[in-house]
Amino acid sequence: MFLTKEEEKMLDGEYGEATRLAMRLIVKVGEALGAQKLININSAQVSGVSYKNIGDPGIQLLEDLVRLGGKSKTLSTLNPAGMDIKNWKKMGIPKEFAEKQLKIISLYMQMDILPTCSCIPYLIGNSPKYREHVAWAESSAVTYANSVLGARTNREGGPLALASALTGKTAFYGFHMEENRLPTHYIELKAKLRYPADYSILGYVVGKKIKTGVPLFSYPRMPPDMECLKALSAGLATSGSISLFHIENYTIEAIIKNKQLQNEKSNMEKIIVEEEEDIKPVFEEYKLTTNPDLIYIGCPHASIQEIRKIAQMLRNRKIKGDIEFWIGTAANIKILADRAGYTDIIEKSGGKIITDTCIVVSPLKTLGFQKILTNSAKACYYLTGLEKLDVGIATLEEIIKTAIEGV
């Protein structure tokens, strides 16, 4: 692999031991994947934050990197942690877990990585523009950054994203290269898609069908808003390993490369997505017949617009006493929700806005929840698969109805 003089110095340890170790990892992985050079990145999104996921070995690694002088060389943000950093007691998080979790956040901060603790960095200040190279972990954010923003990133694992943060570099391969960003499949949308839950399931269904590649969706009947695009990104990255999609005449690269895409459409494998055969059966399969213990909205983390909608729907209404109702979001989005009065409305109705975490990375089983209702196929996939919980998926409208009236 070709390295610049500066990169060689990093690899030789002239910028400290942490930089050397991080550089060695990037070069090794890059060489294994056939990269010919490294490129500079403009931001990193680092995963591996929840104590539930990284445990004591993860803390040890972070302590070593801090001791060796590791410092972020670029704008770096963090994925969700295992608890609300301020209000962990309200969540029922055990003290021992909380102490370890706070230690992890503090170690990242010592490396100058921002404690954003959110999977929607693109809505809270880490928002790369078209053709900007970044190194992000967190599959849903990677797919959103590539597809909606037109940024360039591979789906990094936690250690590699951290190595990129500590060096400001990534290997030039995969989705950093123009030739790998062209669609491989054409998805004709015959289903009526209106809500984020519909798009979440669409992503899940297409990911399951094609597993990998770059889908090009036909233009849906109604243009998807940001919440639908974020749900689609998460769904695609869940059942498959899809990190880039295009929507005809809608997403940035599909517009810019429209002529080329139209010429090549006939060579792509075609898949039709129908309402009755593809979308509805998933809603049917994951339907709760009794009340959930916990309703969770915010996978990926909720935007201020989603919180606003929920506040409007819950105003002057009461959530059933035996149902916990959580909205997961980023801490700074909650500040806005507080100021706007949305938090107050939601809390008065019996709901909570929790920040910095989500149901997948928090120690949910320890908290005693068994039956969950959500509008996210990603949350459903992980909670049924990894945690063996009983999970239902529904649209936000149906979820609010269940919260108020029960199943």
Q: Which residues make up the interface to ligand F3S (CB under 6 A)?
A: 79-80, 119, 140, 234, 299-301, 328, 358, 360-361, 378-379
Termini Cα distance of the chain? 59
- Rounded to a whole number of angstroms, the minimum distance from the CB of residue 361 to ligand F3S is 6
Three-state SS at 144: helix
Residue 298: which region, alpha, beta or left (left: phi > 0; alpha: psi -120 to 50)? left
Q: For ligand F3S, which is the closer residue by CB, 70 or 300?
A: 300
Three-state SS at 139: helix
**The 3-state secondary structure of 257-307, one letter per residue:** CHHHHHHHHHHCEEEEECHHHHHHHHHHHCCCCCCCCEEEECCCCCCHHHH
Asked whether 175 and 188 are in contact (CB, 8 A), the reply is no
Q: Which residues pair with 354 in a beta bridge?
A: 328
- The DSSP code for 366 is T
Can you point out the beta strands (E) in 190-238? 215-217
| CA dist., res. 186 & res. 217, Å (int) | 6
- Rounded to a whole number of angstroms, the minimum distance from the CB of residue 202 to ligand F3S is 16
| CA dist., res. 233 & res. 251, Å (int) | 12
Tell which residue, 110, 226, 242, has the closest CA to residue 184.
242
Q: For ligand F3S, which is the closer residue by CB, 300 or 351?
A: 300
Name the amino acid, one letter, at 370.
Q
- Rounded to a whole number of angstroms, the minimum distance from the CB of residue 378 to ligand F3S is 5
- Rounded to a whole number of angstroms, the minimum distance from the CB of residue 118 to ligand F3S is 8
* Dihedrals phi, psi of 176, to nearest 5 degrees: -75, -15
Whole-Å CA distances, 391 to 159, 194, 275, 292: 31, 22, 21, 8
Q: For ligand F3S, which is the closer residue by CB, 171 or 383?
A: 383
Q: For ligand F3S, which is the closer residue by CB, 140 or 154?
A: 140
* Dihedrals phi, psi of 8, to nearest 5 degrees: -65, -40
Tell which residue, 72, 88, 82, 71, has the closest CA to residue 126.
72
- Rounded to a whole number of angstroms, the minimum distance from the CB of residue 237 to ligand F3S is 8
- Rounded to a whole number of angstroms, the minimum distance from the CB of residue 386 to ligand F3S is 11
Determine the angle formed by the axes of helices 304-314 and 331-340, rounding to 10 degrees.
40
Three-state SS at 96: helix
Tell which residue, 356, 297, 299, 389, has the closest CA to residue 90.
356
- Rounded to a whole number of angstroms, the minimum distance from the CB of residue 165 to ligand F3S is 18
- Rounded to a whole number of angstroms, the minimum distance from the CB of residue 224 to ligand F3S is 17
- Rounded to a whole number of angstroms, the minimum distance from the CB of residue 278 to ligand F3S is 22
Q: Token pair of 180, please?
A: 């790998």
Q: For ligand F3S, which is the closer residue by CB, 7 or 156?
A: 156
